[in-house]
Structure 1
Amino acid sequence: MMYRAYQTFANLHDPVRLFASASERVSKNWFGNFSLNPMQRLAAHYEQISLLGFTHARPDFKINSIIDSLGAEQKVREELVYSTHFCNLVRFKKEDIEGQPKILLVAPMSGHFATLLTGTIKTLLKDHEVYVTDWLNIRDIPLSCGDFDFDSYVEHIINFLKVIGPETHLMGVCQPTVACLAATAIMSEDKSSYAPASMTLMAGPLDVRMSPTKVNELATSKPISWFEEKLIGVIPSQFNGTGRRVYPGFLQLMAFMSMNPDRHAESFRKLYEYRVNGETEKADAIHEFYEEYFAIMDLSAPFYLETIRKVFQDCDLPNGKLTYQGRLVNPKLIKKTFLLTVEGERDDICGIGQTLAAQDLCSGLAGYRKSHHLQAGVGHYGVFNGKRWEAQIYPVVRNHIQSAL
C-alpha cells in the first residue's frame, strides 16, 4: 500500500513538473536572460517546481572527456564490459592510453545510482582506467531473476575482479566498504590471483560502534521486525519487478534529506538567487547536483534488511561473525593487498573511526601496506567529491595505488 500510494502521488505530480519545465524553457527562450526581467524570475520559480520530484531512471554519466594530470584533454569512451541481472560493469576508457592502473570502483546501493560518483570517476580517470558497478534499479528486474542479498553483493565484486583481471585496485565508497573487505578476505583466503592489489575504503560503516551517528542510532533504535513491517514495500504491477519486496528509494532519500533540511532549503534559495542574478554557472551546479540527487533507485528487501542487521545492529564484521555463503570472513588472512582508509572530519553518516577500524581488522597486513587519511573540513559527500577530494584526498589515493604496483 505504501509504494502504491507513493506512485499514485508521483503520477499526479509528474504533469505539474513537466508543465513547469516547459514553462521555464519558454520563459528563458522568449524573454532573454536579464536578471530584472519579471519573466526570468518566473522562470526561476518554474525551475524549482520542475526540480522538486523524484525520477527512477538512471541519468547519463556524461563523461566524454577529462583533463589528465598533465593538463591534456583526453577523450573518454564508456563501454559495457559485463552484465548480470542486477548490475552492469562499465568501463571508462581513454582513447589511445594503455597500461594505466585499473580501478574497480564499487558504487553504493543506497538509494542512488552509480552516476552519483561521476565526479569521483572523472578525477580517478586522470591517471587510471576506471571500471564502475552500475547497479540496476531492482524495481525493473523481474522476480524470475531471483533475489539479491548481501552474499549477492559480495559475489558481484569477486566476479567483477575476475572479469577485469589480476592487479586490479579495489575502491569502495560508503556502504560497499563492508562487502569490499569481505570479498578481499575471501579471495585472499583462496589465494586467488585476482585478489585486488590495493583496496581503498572511503567513509564506510565497517564498525559502527565507533562515533555513532544519527544513521547508526536509527538502525539500532528498532528491532529488525520493525524495519520489515514499516519500511518494506511491494513493487506495483505497472513495473517489471512487480511483486518484489523492496526498501523504496524515496524513503531513503527523504531520510537523508531530513538530516539536513535547512541545508537543502538554503540550496534551493541560492538556486533562485543565482538564476535571477545571472550567475548561471553557480545555478547550474546546484541544479545538476539535485537532478542527480533526486534520481533514486529501490533496494532489494533481503539486501536492505541483512545490511541493517549484519552491519548496524549485530556488527558482524568487527565481532568476527560475518559470513559469505556460509564461510566465515576473516580479514586477518589478507596478506598482500595494500590498504588505505579515508574518513571525513565532519561526516555525519559514517563517524570518525568507523572506516579506520579496517586497519585493526586487517592485522595480517604489514605496517607498510596500511595507511589512513582523515580529511579536515569535509562531510560524507566531500570525501569522494568536490574540491577537497580532488586537491587533497585524490593525491593520497593515487600514491596509495602507485605504492602497490
Structure 2
Amino acid sequence: MMAPWRTAADAMRLAFKNPMNPVSHTYFGRAAAAGLEVFERATRRYGKPEFGLPETVVDGQTVPVREKIVWRAPFCNLIHFERSLPKGRTADPKVLLVAPMSGHYATLLRGTVEALLPHSDIYITDWLDARMVPLSEGTFDLDDYIDYVIQILHHLGPDTHVIGVCQPAVPVLAAVALMEADNDPLSPASMTLMGGPIDTRINPTAVNQLAEQRPVEWFRDNVIMPVPWPQPGFMRMVYPGFLQLSGFMSMNLDRHLVAHKEFFAHLVKNDGDAADKHRDFYDEYLAVMDLTAEFYLQTVQVVFMQHALPKGEMMHRGKRVDPTAIRKVALLTVEGENDDISGVGQTQAAQTICTNIPEHMRQHYMQPDVGHYGVFNGSRFRGEIAPRIVAFHRQHSRHSSPVKQIIKGGKSA
C-alpha cells in the first residue's frame, strides 16, 4: 500500500539533494530532502542486514575473517567466523553464540561477535525468517529449538563454550541440563547466560506482566496470522516481527521519536557522521523476522506464564528438564542494572536452580548503568563484560590450565 508513496518520496528526495538543483543549496531544499528521507525510512520494509566483519585483530595482527555456513537445518544455519590464523598457533576457545529468536536477526549480535572474535573461535546460530520457510519443512517449537542446540553442540564437538543471549537462556540451559542428565560427553565446557528470562517472577518487567495478564488463547487470537502470498512460507502461521518491533518501540517511544527528530536535524545541517550512526542503528533495529506460531505460543506459556523451568516442571518430549543434573558445566550469568526486558535477578536465578555446579565453576556479574542491549553490545560490553567472558572460557576450558585474571569495575558475585 505504501510502496508507491515511498517510491515517490525517494525520487523527490534525490531531486532535492541533487547539487545541480539550486534548491538543494537552500534551507528549504535540505529540510524537504530530510523530511522525505525520514518518511521513506519510516515506511520501508528492512531486509536482513549483513554481519560485515571482514577482519579482526588477533595477537596484534589484522587477519581476514570469512563467514562460512557449517551446519544447516530447515529453520537455522550455523555460521562460522573463520579467521585466517597461522598454522600451529594455540587454538582459542570454541564458542557457540546462540542468538535470540525474538523478532530480530542474528546480526543484532554483531557487536558481541566483534568483541569476542579476537580471542575466540566463534559460531553463531542464524535463525531463518519463518515466512521464508515453506510449510513442507514442518513445524518448529521450543522443543525443536532445544534439539537444535543439542545437535549443534554435537556437531561442534568437545570443549565448546555456549552463550545464550536473552531469549535463548531458557532453551540453552534446558539443552545443557538434558545433555548432562544423559552423561553426554559432548556437553559444553561452560554456559554463559546473558540478560535472559530464567525466572520472570523476579522483578517482573512490563514484558513479563503482559504475558501474565492474558491467557495464551488471547495471544493465539490476536497476534498470530498466516504468511501471505507470495512468500515461500505462504499459509504458515506466524507471530509477525513487526508486532514484536512495535512492542519494543512502544516501551521507549519517546526515545525513538527524539532520535528521529535529531536525525532530521542532522540531515538539515549536513551532519553526515551523526546521520550515518542513526541509519546504521535503525537499519539493524527495524529489520525484523517472523517467528513460528507454535514456538512463540509455547515460549509465552512455558517461560512467562508457567515459569516451568525454575519450578522444576519444564518438560522436553516427555522428559523432565532437571537443572540439578548439571555438574560438569561451568556457569556464568550476566545482567544489566537497568534492563527493562529481563529484570535484575531473572538471569541470576540460573545460579539458584543449578544447585550441583561446584562453587569454583560458577560466577555472576551485574554490569552497572546498562540496559538490555548494553548487556551484549556497546562500550561497556566491550570494556567490562567481554573480557570477563573470555577469561571465564579460558579458565574453564577442559583442555587448558586455569587462567587467573582480575578485571576492575562492575559488580561480581
Mapped to 1, the partners of 2:349 and 2:298 lie a distance apart of 21
Return the alpha-carbon distance in structure 2 between the equivalents of residues 44 and 71 of structure 1. 42
Deviates more, 1:267-276 or 1:292-301: 267-276
Q: Alpha-carbon deviations, 1:36-88, whole Å to 9, x = none?
A: 654333332222122113536322111111244x5432211010111111111
1:20 aligns with 2:5: no
Residue 92 of structure 2 is aligned to residue 100 of structure 1? yes
The verdict on how the C-alpha distance between 1:373 and 1:21 changes in structure 2, with shifts beyond 3 A counting, is farther
Question: What letter is aligned with 1:294?
Answer: L
The residue number in structure 1 matching 2:306 is 314
Query: Counterpart of 2:50?
Result: 60
Which runs of structure 2 are paired with 1:1-12 in the superposition (5 Å)?
12=1
User: Does the 8 A contact of 2:100 with 2:167 survive in 1?
Assistant: yes
State the distance in 1 between where 2:4 and 2:111 align.
Answer: 31
For residue 279 of structure 1, report the CA deviation from its aligned partner.
Answer: 3.0
Equivalent residue for 1:42?
A: 32
Identity across matched positions, percent: 43
Look up the equivalent residue of 1:323 and give its one-letter code: M
Partners of 2:323 and 2:353 within 8 A in 1:
yes
Q: Partners of 1:197 and 1:175 in 2: how far apart? A: 21
**CA RMSD of superposed structures (Å):** 1.8
In structure 1, how many angstroms separate the alpha carbons of the residues matched to 2:353 and 2:154? 24
Match for 2:152 among 156, 160, 163?
160
Matched, 1:272 2:261: no
Counterpart among 334, 338, 362 of residue 342 in structure 1: 334
Does 2:182 correspond to 1:190?
yes
> 1:66 and 1:368 mapped to 2: Cα distance?
32
For 2:220, the equivalent position in structure 1 comes to 228
- Aligned position for 1:8: none
Change (3 A) 1:228 1:15: same
Paired amino acid for 1:59: P
Tell me if the contact between 2:181 and 2:325 (Cα under 8 Å) persists in the aligned partners: yes
**Cα 1:259/1:332, change in 2 over 3 Å:** same
Task: Give the Cα–Cα distance (whole angstroms) in 1 for the partners of residues 141 and 263 of structure 2.
Answer: 39
Moved more, 315-324 or 230-239: 230-239
Alpha-carbon distance in structure 1 between the residues aligned to 2:317 and 2:304? 20
Residue 88 of structure 1 corresponds to 77
> What secondary structure does 1:317 align onto?
helix
| Count of aligned residue pairs for this structure pair | 392
Q: Is 2:70 the partner of 1:78?
A: no
Most deviating of 37-46 and 289-298: 37-46
Per the TM alignment, residue 257 of structure 1 is displaced from its structure 2 partner at its CA by 0.7
What does residue 366 of structure 1 align with? 358
Deviation readout 1:204-239 (Å, 9 max, x if unpaired): 000000000000000000011111111111112321
- Alignment check: 8 A CA contact 1:219 1:312 kept: yes
Structure 1 length normalisation: TM-score? 0.93
Deviations 1:258-295 (A, max 9, x none): 11100100111121222333332222111111111111
Checking the alignment, whether the CA contact within 8 Å between 2:19 and 2:25 is kept in structure 1 is: no
* Structure 1 segments of 4+ aligned residues over 6 angstroms from their partners: none
Is the counterpart of residue 287 in structure 1 residue 270 in structure 2?
A: no
2:303 partner letter: V
Once structures 1 and 2 are overlaid, which stretch shifts more, 375-384 or 16-25? 16-25
| In 1: Cα distance, 2:348 partner to 2:377 partner | 20
Could you say which residue in structure 2 is the equivalent of 1:297?
Answer: 289
- In structure 2, the residue matched to 1:138 is 130
1:119 aligns with 2:111: yes
Q: TM-score, normalised by structure 2?
A: 0.91
For residues 81-128 of structure 1, the C-alpha deviation after alignment (integer angstroms, 9 at most, x for no partner) is 111111110111111256211111111111111111111111111211
Moved more, 122-131 or 205-214: 122-131
2:198 paired residue number? 206
Shift of 1:26: 5.1
State the distance in 1 between where 2:185 and 2:37 align. 52
Quick check: 374-383 or 231-240, which moved more?
Answer: 231-240
Gaps of 5+ in 2: 398-413
Per the alignment, residue 408 of structure 2 pairs with none
Residues 35 and 371 (structure 1), Cα distance of their counterparts in 2 relative to 1, 3 Å cut: farther
User: Which string of whole-angstrom CA distances, capped at 9 and with x for unpartnered residues, describes residues 161-219 of structure 1?
Assistant: 11112111100110000000001111111111211111110000000000000000000
Q: Distance in 2 between matches of 1:276 and 1:16?
A: 22
Please tell me whether the aligned partners of residues 182 and 329 of structure 1 are also in contact (alpha carbons under 8 angstroms).
Answer: yes
Amino acid at match of 1:49: F
CA contact (8 A) 1:36 1:276 kept: no
CA–CA distance in structure 2, aligned partners of residues 134 and 216 of structure 1? 26
Q: 3-state SS of the aligned residue for 2:204?
A: coil
In 2 relative to 1, CA 204–31 (structure 1 residues): closer, same or farther, beyond 3 Å?
A: farther
